[in-house]
Amino acid sequence: MRLSRFHLHTTKETPADAEIASHRLMLRAGMLRKHAAGLYTWSPLGLRVLRKVERVVREEMDRAGAIEVSMPTIQPRELWEETGRWEKFGGQLLKIKDRKDAEYCYAPTAEEVITDFARGELSSYKQLPVNFYQVQTKFRDEIRPRFGVMRAREFLMKDAYSFHLTDEDLAREYQNMHAAYSRIFARLGLKFRAVQADSGAIGGDASQEFHVLADSGEDSIAFSTGSDYAANIEAAQAAAPGARPAAGEAMRKVDTPTQKTCEDVAALLGIALARTVKSVAVMTDDGFVLALVRGDHAVNEIKLRKAPGLGDYRLATEAEILEYLGSEPGFLGPIGAKQAIRVIADREVAAMADFVVGANEAGYHLAGVNWGRDLPEPEIVADIRNVVEGDRAIDGGELRLARGIEVGHVFQLGRKYAEAMNATVLDENGKAATMSMGCYGIGVSRIVAAAIEQNHDEAGILWPEPMAPWRVAVCVINPKNDANVSAAAEALYDELNAAGIETALDDRGLRPGAMFADIELIGIPHRVVVSERGLAAGTFEYRARSAGESENLDRTALFAKLT
Ligand code: ATP
Ligand code: MG
Ligand code: MG
Ligand code: MG
C-alpha cells in the first residue's frame, strides 16, 4: 500500500474523553471515528487490523471443524419469546418495530436464531455433532459504553454454537473449542489466561473466560502460582461461599459511616473513573445497603445486602432486588445482580443525597464484600484467599490477583435452549432426543483494543506482528526532490511485497520527524528508511518498533531480518 493513496489520518491531540491507552491511541492513530455512544466507524487503517484478527479467528475455527454461517442481525421477537428472554434479557436488548408494528431485536447474541436454524436443519443424530459459527455484528445497549471499542454498543463478535446428542460429546467439543481459543490468542501474540467463570447452577468446567492480561482490565482474576487454578473473581467467591467472612463482620465497618452528599458520591465515582479505586457503600433509608466498588475504570465487584438492622446482612435475593428497583420480573435475567447494581448506580446517583455513604478510605473498606486496588496487595490477597482457600487447588502456591480483559467465553449450555425451543433429532432408536448445546464467543473488535492495552509505549502502538496493519514501512526521505531515492524505495517496496512481506510505502513526502512519528504511532513493527545518504553507502536504515536503536543494513542483511 502506498500511504499517499491510503487514508491515514493521525492526530497529535490526546482526546479528552479517552481514559485508557488503547482508546487514546486508536483515536490518535485514526483507527476509529465515533458517531454516538458506542458506535464507531472503523477507518481503513482500523479495519486492516480488525480483519487480521478476524482472519486468525476464522482459520482456527475452521481448523477446529466449525462451519461458518451468517445469521441476521435483526431477530424476531417470537423466537425470543420461546426462551423467555424477550423479557428476561434486560436493558441491553435493543427492541425495534417495523412498519407493520411487528417486533424485533438487534442481536446481542444468537442462541435463539441458531436453535431455530438447527431445529429446521437437523433431524437425525447422524448429522451431529455440528458446530456453526459466524463473525457478525452484535448490538448491546450497554449502560455505560466506554473505552472505545473495548465496551462498545455495536461490536464484532465471533459466536459459535455446537449441537450434540450427548453431554459427553458436548464436553469433548468444549475442550476442542478451548484448545482452538488458546491457539487463537497465542497466534495473535497476546498474553492471556483461561479462567473459570461462575456458571451458576451448571457448575464445574461448564464455563470459562479467556482474559487478556492488562492492568486496565475491568475484570479481576485470581490464580495460583502452584497449580492450574485460575478463576474470575465471581467464580472464586462462588466456589467457597462458606469461607467468606461472616456477613456481620464484613459490614461492621460501615457502622460509623461518613455523611456524604450527592456531589461527594458523584465525585467518588468520578474519581474512580479517573483511575483511583474507591468502594462506596450506600444505605438507603429503607435499610437497603448497596456496595459499589469502582475499579480502575468501572464497577468491579458488586453485592447487594438487605439490612433489617445493622449487623445483620446477607446477600439480597433476586426478588428483593427487583422489589427494590421496582423492576419487572425477569429484569435481572441471566446477568444477575452485577448488572443490576450498575443500573442502580446510574439511575440513583442523582438521588443519593439523602443516603448514608461509607467509602473505603482507611477503615471503610468492606472486607469480603469487595476490594480495591488502592488497598495494599497483601490485604487484597488475604481477602480473596479467605474465599478461595480450603476449597480449591491452590496447592501450596501463592494466590495472585491480576486484571484481565474478557476476550472470549466458552460455555456448556446443555439442553436449556433446545428444550425451550423443542430442538430435537432422532436418536439411534428412532426416538426424539433434545440436543445438547455449547456456545463460544470471541470479542473480535475488543481484541484490537485489548492488544493495544498490552502492547504500547509513549510513542504509540506496538502491534504483535500478526495484527499489524503492515509488517514493514518503507519510509522515503524527500521523495519529491530525489528521483533516485524514490526509485530505490519503490523497488524495495515491490520486492518486499513480492516476497510476501506486507509492506507500506510512506511516500507522502512528510518531513522525517512527522513521518516517523506516524509510523511509530500506528505501530508498524519494522521500519526501513531509504535516504540519499544510505543509497550512497549501499545500505538501508532498519529499526524494529520494539527496539531503540536503528542499524544500517545492506539489502541481503535487510531481507534476512524481514524473512
Ligand atoms: P462483559 O463481561 O465484558 O460485558 P460479556 O460476558 O457480557 O462481556 P459475552 O456474552 O460472554 O460477553 O460475549 C462474548 C464476548 O463478546 C465477550 O467475551 C467479549 O469479548 C465480547 N463483548 C461483550 N460485550 C462487548 C461490548 N460491549 N463491546 C465489545 N465486546 C464485547
Ligand atoms: Mg456484558
Ligand atoms: Mg463477562
Ligand atoms: Mg462473558
Q: What is the pLDDT of residues 114-167, one digit of tens each?
A: 999 999 999 999 999 999 999 999 999 988 788 999 999 999 999 999 999 999
Give the residue, by CA position, lying nearest to ligand 1 atom 7: 335
- Give dist(CA 292, CA 372) in Å, integer: 11
Residue 81 CA to ligand 2 center (angstroms) comes to 21
Residues 174, 193 contacting (CB under 8 angstroms): no
- Cell readout for 404 is 484481565
Q: What is the mean pLDDT of residues 376-384?
A: 43
The pick from 109, 141, 150, 157 for probing ligand 1's pocket by mutation, whose C-beta has the most ligand atoms within 8 angstroms, reads: 157
User: Is residue 198's pLDDT more than 80?
Assistant: no
Q: What is the pLDDT of residues 52-102, one digit of tens each?
A: 999 999 999 999 999 999 999 999 999 999 999 998 888 899 999 999 999
Quote the pLDDT of residue 132: 98
> Taking CB atoms and a 6 Å cutoff, what residues make up the pocket around ligand 1?
109, 140, 142, 151-152, 155, 157, 406-409, 441, 443, 445-446
Percent residues over pLDDT 90 in the chain: 59
Residue 75 CA to ligand 4 center (angstroms) comes to 21
- Give dist(CA 320, CA 326) in Å, integer: 10
Give the residue, by CA position, lying nearest to ligand 1 atom 31: 443
Residue 432 CA to ligand 4 center (angstroms) comes to 32
User: Is residue 465's pLDDT more than 90?
Assistant: yes
Give the residue, by CA position, lying nearest to ligand 1 atom 14: 441
- Give dist(CA 36, CA 229) in Å, integer: 41
- DSSP letter at 332 equals S
Ligand 1, residue 109: give the atom nearest the CA: 10
- Cell readout for 118 is 438447527
Give the residue, by CA position, lying nearest to ligand 1 atom 24: 151
pLDDT level of residue 234 (50, 70, 90 thresholds): low
Quote the pLDDT of residue 238: 56
What length does the chain have? Answer: 563
- Give dist(CA 9, CA 252) in Å, integer: 55
Q: What does DSSP say about strands 472-476 and 460-461: parallel, antiparallel, or unpaired?
A: unpaired
Query: Looking at the CA of 232, which ligand is closest?
Result: 3
Let me know the angle formed at the C-alpha of 233 by 229 and 236, rounded to the nearest 5 degrees.
50
Q: Give this prediction's pTM.
A: 0.79
Residue 143 CA to ligand 3 center (angstroms) comes to 14
Residue 408 CA to ligand 4 center (angstroms) comes to 7
Q: What is the mean pLDDT of residues 380-389?
A: 47
pLDDT level of residue 320 (50, 70, 90 thresholds): low
The pick from 53, 149, 177, 409 for probing ligand 1's pocket by mutation, whose C-beta has the most ligand atoms within 8 angstroms, reads: 409
Give the residue, by CA position, lying nearest to ligand 1 atom 5: 406
Q: What is the pLDDT of residues 262-305, one digit of tens each?
A: 334 334 333 232 222 233 444 443 444 444 433 322 332 333 33
Quote the pLDDT of residue 287: 45
Percent residues over pLDDT 70 in the chain: 69
When mean pLDDT is compared across 3-12, 121-130, 194-203, 224-233, the lowest value belongs to: 194-203
In what helix (H) or strand (E) does residue 438 lie, and over which residues does it extend?
Answer: strand 436-443
- The SS3 of residue 7 is coil
- Give dist(CA 270, CA 532) in Å, integer: 53
- The SS3 of residue 189 is coil
Query: Looking at the CA of 443, which ligand is closest?
Result: 1
Quote the pLDDT of residue 461: 98
User: Is residue 363's pLDDT more than 60?
Assistant: no
Ligand 1, residue 108: give the atom nearest the CA: 10
- Give dist(CA 151, CA 144) in Å, integer: 8
Determine how many CB atoms are found less than 10 A away from the CB of residue 419.
Answer: 16
User: Is residue 233's pLDDT more than 90?
Assistant: no
Quote the pLDDT of residue 21: 95
* Mean pLDDT of the residues in the chain: 78
When mean pLDDT is compared across 133-147, 325-339, 480-494, the lowest value belongs to: 325-339
pLDDT level of residue 355 (50, 70, 90 thresholds): very low
Q: What is the mean pLDDT of residues 438-458?
A: 97
- Give dist(CA 84, CA 313) in Å, integer: 32
Q: Which residue in this structure is represented by grid cell 465515533?
A: 34
Quote the pLDDT of residue 70: 98
Give the residue, by CA position, lying nearest to ligand 1 atom 2: 406
Quote the pLDDT of residue 219: 82
